[in-house]
Amino acid sequence: MKRIGSKWKSFVAAFALLALVATGALAANTAGAEEVYWSGRRSLPIYGVGREDNKIAVSFDCAWGVEYTDRILEALEKGKVRATFFTVQFWAEKYPEYLKKIDAAGHEIGTHSATHSYMSRLSEQEIRGELASSCEAIEKITGKKVELFRPPYGDYDDLLIDTCNALGIYPIQWDVDSLDWKDLSASDIVSRVVGKVRSGSVILMHNNGLHTADALPAVIDALRAKGFEFVPIGELIYRENYEIDHTGRQYPKNAS
């Protein structure tokens, strides 16, 4: 058998290591939603929750406009669903009446940053500024503490997640993407969401999706028919003694 030289062995070892890293990054990315940026980082937000009671959460990112928001709120009220809304500071300040309306309807409100920036490009000081400013703006309008944060574009790095955790703010992603921001038809949105939800899932929607309000009643009915129960994200996640696996799924610490 032909012997392999030391240089070739080093090359093979390096290539194998690179392949393992690439495979790990791909697995982590496909575990979440299609638009998430991930490159093997170890500090992860919460994509979903490991639980067997069929509780799930639907969430809406609010950054642009309010044209469809009333119809979304009407659908949620009719379906008796409490959801979580992540609002950017400039949206909250431009539409304080809608923030109050969302809060009065019993929904949960988290921050979606102050300026809707790519958070992985910011320094720790800038991250802290974005979180402090946006939380303060929301709290000033609702009178309620903000405890959840969703990074714009799903973009994050170790520094962002570690900073959130240090501030006692839970960084939240999603494991079911409706892709409503791509203006999919209502039926396509329903098909995407209903087919992917499992116990502990976090569904991503947007308050300004063209067909989100049209799809929402069917999504609620179909998932409830499957035995799922809707709760706000703050009631879905574990608040302490938890761990997050490599897919971003949260579990009670030391759970078997």
- Among the ranges given (24-33, 53-62, 243-252), the one the predictor scored with the smallest mean pLDDT: 24-33
Question: Quick one: pLDDT band at residue 21, thresholds 50, 70, 90?
Answer: very low
Question: Quick one: pLDDT band at residue 199, thresholds 50, 70, 90?
Answer: very high
Q: What is the value of pTM for the model shown?
A: 0.83
User: Of the candidates 2, 21, 19, 1, which has an alpha carbon nearest to the alpha carbon of residue 11?
Assistant: 19
Q: Apex CA 191: angle with CA 245 and CA 198, to 5°?
A: 30
More confident residue, 224 or 14: 224
Task: Write down the pLDDT at residue 188.
Answer: 97
Q: Give CA–CA dist 208/199, Å, rounded.
A: 26
33-65: pLDDT as tens digits: 334 444 444 899 999 999 999 999 999 999 999
Q: How does 240-256 read in b/e, with b if 16+ C-beta sit within 10 Å?
A: eebebeebbbbbeeeee
pLDDT mean across residues, the chain: 88
H-assigned helices in the chain: 6-31, 69-78, 89-94, 96-104, 124-142, 158-167, 186-194, 212-225, 233-236
- pLDDT, mean of residues 152-173: 97
Q: Give CA–CA dist 84/123, Å, rounded.
A: 28
Q: Give CA–CA dist 196/56, Å, rounded.
A: 12
Write out the catalytic residue numbers.
Answer: 61, 206
90-146: pLDDT as tens digits: 999 999 999 999 999 999 999 999 999 999 999 999 999 999 999 999 999 999 999
Task: Write down the pLDDT at residue 255.
Answer: 61
